[in-house]
């Protein structure tokens, strides 16, 4: 049976004689001493059901729901001991990059940054690496990192090393890092799992019993449990997850093709969907504005009618942002330059609106900042 079908019908069994069609919110901090849940800082039926759903969709043995994506990363970082070597990919979410730098300085890690989208840099991963962390597709630029190639390089040198993949932008619908040898797959569920910009959450997935038990204990002692209310909201959103992703995928591809022919756009970034590692994609594009239009970015946002400028993404309404001053604002100018990031790059998060409406909005706004010039109005 298709995992999406299974997930739609997945319910936690609490022996509730009321037989609800939808699992209610378990708004309680404590359970009976005989209960498997015991205490909501340890476990809760709403979290357990959400974790089961994500395990089903990504094909994982274990799942841990936490407060947000950054909390998921923070828990995983606690697996690294002082003095060990951590390898990061060059292209990485700004806050993730800064978290790794801050923690490495405090705990005495060695930190090395490589461009893991390149075969040559994968071969440069040091033999004494303890943990490799990367996103694929990457933030920004949507580059592909070949998971199995990284795993083979790392594990051949050090079988105990960990390969951790941030799978947020691919989603469990289109990529399963654990099937390609990764030890941990994690998500900022605030994005596609929520899908409505109204609830924060993170998820850690693994097939390894030892890692699950260690991370589960750390979540308990650190108090990083997702609240029952938030778990319930995310679980509800997961009922439309596959439907939303199909729309994101269809419209995003059309908008990418349309923007490729826009004279105001110098380049469109769209990931490589190889059908093996990444089987589909939708929701987020990066584009480079033509150089002479970069100073008019603010005007572009003001001319757009559909696109909001909020920090949300992967939600039902379209959003526009400038990574240089937004998602990567915490990085220094030198750090941004090292990844090739400047103010010309624009992130477009494609929502659930009609494709023609999105196209027309972009067409109009781009034309207005370019002295009234407009790209051809070919049908999508």
Q: What is the spatial distance between Cα 104 and Cα 99, in angstroms, rounded to a whole number?
A: 8
The neighbouring-strand residues paired with 110 are 85
Pairing of strands 319-321, 129-135: unpaired
pLDDT value for 380: 40
pLDDT value for 36: 85
Please write the tens of the pLDDT for every residue from 337-353: 988 999 999 999 999 99
**Start and end residues for every CATH 3.40.640.10 domain found in the chain:** 3-238
Q: What is the spatial distance between Cα 247 and Cα 355, in angstroms, rounded to a whole number?
A: 10
Q: What is the spatial distance between Cα 176 and Cα 57, in angstroms, rounded to a whole number?
A: 9
Distances (CA, A) of 336 to 59, 105, 330: 35, 20, 10
Q: Which among 355, 157, 144, 342 is positioned nearest to 248, based on CA atoms?
A: 355
Q: What is the spatial distance between Cα 91 and Cα 137, in angstroms, rounded to a whole number?
A: 10
- Would you say the pTM of this structure is higher than 0.85? yes
Q: What is the spatial distance between Cα 308 and Cα 36, in angstroms, rounded to a whole number?
A: 44
Q: Which among 286, 248, 338, 345 is positioned nearest to 143, based on CA atoms?
A: 286
Check residue 294 and report its DSSP letter.
Answer: G
Question: Rounded to an integer, what is the distance from CA 262 to the centroid of its chain?
Answer: 28
H helical segments located in the chain:
3-9, 45-58, 69-77, 94-107, 119-123, 147-157, 171-174, 209-222, 228-238, 241-260, 297-303, 333-338, 355-369
Domain 241-369 class, CATH top level: alpha beta
Q: What is the spatial distance between Cα 17 and Cα 32, in angstroms, rounded to a whole number?
A: 16
Radius of gyration of the chain (CA): 21
Peptide bond into 42 cis (omega under 30): no
For residues 379 and 354, the answer to whether their CB atoms sit within 8 Å is no
pLDDT value for 378: 47
Q: Which among 215, 294, 329, 239 is positioned nearest to 21, based on CA atoms?
A: 239
Low-confidence ranges of the chain (pLDDT < 70): 16, 372-380
**Start and end residues for every CATH 3.90.1150.10 domain found in the chain:** 241-369
Q: Which among 234, 231, 216, 201 is positioned nearest to 76, based on CA atoms?
A: 216
Check residue 30 and report its DSSP letter.
Answer: B
CA end-to-end distance (rounded Å), the chain:
34
Check residue 198 and report its DSSP letter.
Answer: S
Distances (CA, A) of 333 to 94, 97, 321, 330, 336: 12, 14, 18, 9, 5
Query: What does the chain come to in residues?
Result: 380
The neighbouring-strand residues paired with 203 are 65, 187
Indicate the angle between helix axes 209-222 and 69-77, nearest 10 degrees: 110
Contacts of 35 (CB under 8 A, 6+ apart): none
Please write the tens of the pLDDT for every residue from 248-261: 999 999 999 999 99
Q: Which among 298, 279, 280 is positioned nearest to 289, based on CA atoms?
A: 298
CATH architecture of 3-238: 3-Layer(aba) Sandwich (3.40)
Helix (H) or strand (E) holding 185: strand 184-188
Tokens of 144: 């592909």
């Amino acid at each position: 049976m298709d995992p999406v079908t299974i997930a739609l019908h997945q319910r936690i069994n609490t022996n509730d004689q009321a037989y609800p069609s939808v699992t209610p919110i378990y708004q309680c901090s404590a359970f009976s001493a005989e209960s498997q849940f015991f205490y909501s800082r340890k476990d809760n039926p709403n979290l357990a059901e959400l974790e089961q759903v994500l395990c089903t969709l990504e094909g994982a043995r274990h799942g841990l729901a936490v407060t947000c994506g950054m909390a998921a990363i923070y828990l995983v970082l606690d697996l690294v001991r002082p003095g060990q070597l951590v390898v990061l990919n060059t292209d990485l979410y700004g806050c993730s990059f800064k978290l790794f730098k801050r923690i490495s300085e405090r705990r005495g890690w060695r930190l090395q940054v490589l461009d893991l989208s390149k075969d040559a840099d994968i071969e440069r991963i040091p033999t004494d690496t303890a943990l490799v962390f990367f996103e694929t597709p990457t933030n920004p630029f949507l580059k592909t990192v070949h998971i199995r190639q990284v795993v083979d390089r790392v594990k051949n040198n050090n079988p105990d090393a960990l390969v951790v993949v941030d799978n947020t932008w691919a989603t469990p619908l289109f990529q399963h890092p654990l099937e390609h040898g990764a030890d941990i797959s994690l998500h900022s569920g605030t994005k596609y799992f929520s899908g409505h910009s109204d609830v924060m959450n993170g998820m850690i997935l693994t097939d390894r019993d030892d890692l699950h038990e260690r991370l589960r204990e750390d979540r308990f002692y650190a108090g990083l449990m997702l609240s029952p209310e938030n778990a319930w909201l995310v679980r509800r959103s997961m009922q439309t997850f596959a439907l939303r992703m199909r729309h994101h995928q269809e419209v995003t591809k059309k908008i990418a093709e349309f923007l490729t022919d826009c004279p105001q756009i110098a380049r469109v970034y769209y990931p490589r969907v190889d059908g093996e590692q990444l089987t589909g994609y939708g929701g987020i594009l990066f584009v480079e504005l033509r150089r002479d239009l970069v100073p008019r970015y603010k005007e572009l946002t003001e001319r757009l009618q559909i696109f909001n400028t909020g920090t949300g993404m992967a939600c039902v309404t379209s959003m526009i942002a400038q990574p240089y001053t937004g998602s990567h604002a915490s990085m220094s100018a030198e750090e941004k330059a090292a990844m090739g990031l400047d103010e010309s790059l624009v992130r477009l998060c494609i929502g659930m609106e009609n494709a023609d409406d999105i196209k027309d909005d972009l067409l109009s706004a781009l034309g207005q900042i370019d002295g009234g010039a407009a790209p051809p109005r070919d049908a999508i």
